[in-house]
Structure 1
Amino acid sequence: MGNADSTIFVPLTTAQQRLFGTKYLSNIALSVTTTEMIDTAKDTIEKTLLAHFKISSPDDANFTVASQADVVTTINDIT
């Protein structure tokens, strides 16, 4: 996370309203301790969001859960 002297923590709603002027999240960055945990973490996050937003099918989700490898693959496919 970096040097404690150069790190700040801001409550989510304060950041949304005062810093970004939004009422929603556009992205969330997470990390896992080992690469072996990436797929499990992605699955858990997707299931949690689907349940929270009461979305019955992943095809109906209005969000994407992607790893760095997924993003790199997408970029490589585009370029």
Structure 2
Amino acid sequence: MSETTVAEAITRIYESLQAENTDLDLHIATLKAALSREGVKEAVFDPAKLAQNNRSGRKLMQAYFRQRGVTVKFAGA
């Protein structure tokens, strides 16, 4: 079984967010492992692909991911 890349993990998180956060914690853990393997310090998300693309939604997402050990940034922000 091949290891998931950061890009693949982020895609799965977008899908999870669209599916009412189904398996979100699992995908965050996968993303955290991929970031570590690739030596990347933060995950960059496209705000246009988020279910709640407003300041409140982005801050909530950052806080939720931060609690799980992942730093989130937004493209163009």
TM-score above 0.5 = no
Report which of the two structures shows the higher radius of gyration computed on alpha carbons.
1
- Report which structure shows greater RCO (CA 8 Å, sep ≥6): 2
> Which is richer in strand?
2
